[in-house]
Amino acid sequence: MIHAHDSLIVLMLGRILIPLVQLYGLYVLFFGQYGPGGGFVGGVIFGTSMILSVLIFGHGASYSTMARTVRHGDGVGLLIFAGVGGLCLIGGGEFLNYAALEIPGLDVASRRYLGIVLAQIGVAVDVGVTAISIVFSLSFDHEDGDSHA
Amino acid sequence: MTFSFEVPLLILLILTAAGAILVKDLVPAVFILGSYSFFLALVWACLGAVDVAFVEAVVGAGLATVFFLLTLFRTAQKDTRLYPSSYRGAALIGLPLLGFLILYAANDLPKFGDPASPASVHVSPVYLENSLHDTRTPNVVTSVLMDYRALDTLIETVVIFTAGIACALLLGRSRE
């Protein structure tokens, strides 16, 4: 069970840094098609911001609500990624052939572009949530946590 | 090319790797390992693999350090050797021999950036030429990972998912 940090400097820095890190994670995730980055790195950065809030403010703090809420959702990202592949199957193509996504008004290149974006969101959710879940497994003491928290 | 940058970086890599092994207190060893990852990221960036450098810096220097530290806080922080020191002589002879064999085999690898190497003539030109037209994605690394080789990436995601599940099963179990 991690409690809030004693130092006021650390707490204030956390309040300033965490939103910036989250913004940067989203930028890396959605800019991955034009520069370095992508789903994996963006997910890790976004997950790291929530890990930072757990490490600075503790497990029970309201800043860590987001991390506490999502930590059991490991499979959601995988479901998004595989679900996009399944939609391609429904559209009549091969598994993960984004050109077969059934979206009216889009040419083939735009469909594949959209498929890449959706798959990257899936990877990001999976990686970020897994990082948070591992941190909670490593640091959460259930005997303490269940009775007092 | 970037030779003058690479030699100091490689020396720093060897120094930090040796330091992480030799330091007895494990908390400094974790931080030295993080700096090792950071120097490795600089080497990747020098070689032009910016995506790999990004992942190495974020995961190796950032996330892995946090995992190691959290593990150390739940276990012992001192290095306790599990093996008897009589194996040391065998390691002193065997590991240089293995290194020599690897260097000998590396002679037969194609030169760095060789346009006639098997990796550069098979499917790489197809991806490089068609990525922008096919997927409107200027970053070819992303289009190869997420479109042309999406099934590989899906299975890698399954691997990460499995790692998270295994950690939760082994460590997150409540004692009732």
Q: Are A5 and A11 in contact (CB under 8 A)?
A: yes
Contacts of A134 in chain B (CB under 8 A): 67, 163-164, 167-168
* Model confidence at A66: pLDDT above 50: yes
* Model confidence at B78: pLDDT above 80: no
| Nearby residues of A82 by Cβ (< 8 Å), 6 or more positions away | A122, B154
Of A28, A82, A143, the CB nearest to B175: A143
Of B53, B58, B135, the CB nearest to A113: B135
Question: Cα(B53)–Cα(A49) distance, rounded to whole angstroms?
Answer: 20
Tens of pLDDT along B133-160? 888 888 888 888 888 889 999 999 999 9
pLDDT at A147: 39
pLDDT at A70: 86
pLDDT at A72: 83
pLDDT at A148: 39
pLDDT at B85: 66
* Model confidence at A1: pLDDT above 80: no
Closest Cα in chain A to B156: A123
CB contact under 8 A, B153 and A82: no
CB contact under 8 A, A33 and B138: yes
Higher pLDDT pick, A15 / A106: A15
* Model confidence at A37: pLDDT above 80: yes
pLDDT at B176: 43
Q: Which CA distances in Å does B49 have to A72, B40, B119? A: 34, 11, 15
Cβ contacts of A91-100, under 8 Å, gap ≥ 24? A95/B151, A96/B150, A96/B151, A96/B154, A98/B147, A98/B150
* Mean pLDDT, residues A123-139 taken together: 91
SS3 content of chain B, % helix, strand, coil (to 5): 75, 0, 20
Q: How confident is the model at residue B73 (pLDDT cuts 50, 70, 90)?
A: confident
pLDDT at B84: 63
Domain parsing of chain A, residue ranges? 8-148
* Mean pLDDT, residues A14-30 taken together: 93
Of the candidate ranges A53-57, B3-7, B100-104, the one whose mean pLDDT is the lowest: B3-7
Report helix angle A74-90 to A108-139, nearest 10.
160
ipTM rounded to 2 decimals:
0.84
Of B134, B151, B168, the CB nearest to A96: B151
pLDDT at A39: 87
Question: Cα(A8)–Cα(B173) distance, rounded to whole angstroms?
Answer: 34
* Model confidence at B66: pLDDT above 70: yes
* Model confidence at B168: pLDDT above 90: no
Cα four-point dihedral sign B12, B17, B23, B27: positive
pLDDT at A103: 81
Tens of pLDDT along B112-138? 778 888 878 888 888 888 888 888 888
Contacts of A33 in chain B (CB under 8 A): 136-139, 142-143
A102-141 residues touching B, CB cutoff 8 A: 108-110, 112-113, 115-116, 119-120, 122-123, 126-127, 129-131, 133-140
Q: How many CB atoms lie within 10 A of CB B139?
A: 22
Tokens representing B146 are: 């997420």
Contacts of B50 in chain A (CB under 8 A): 36
Tally helices (H) and strands (E) across chain A. Answer: 6, 0
Put simply, whether B75 touches A (Cβ < 8 Å) is no
Q: How confident is the model at residue A97 (pLDDT cuts 50, 70, 90)?
A: confident
pLDDT at A35: 86
Q: How many CB atoms lie within 10 A of CB A112?
A: 24
pLDDT at B109: 86
Mean pLDDT over each residue of chain A, to the nearest integer: 86
Put simply, whether B138 touches A (Cβ < 8 Å) is yes
pLDDT at A102: 81
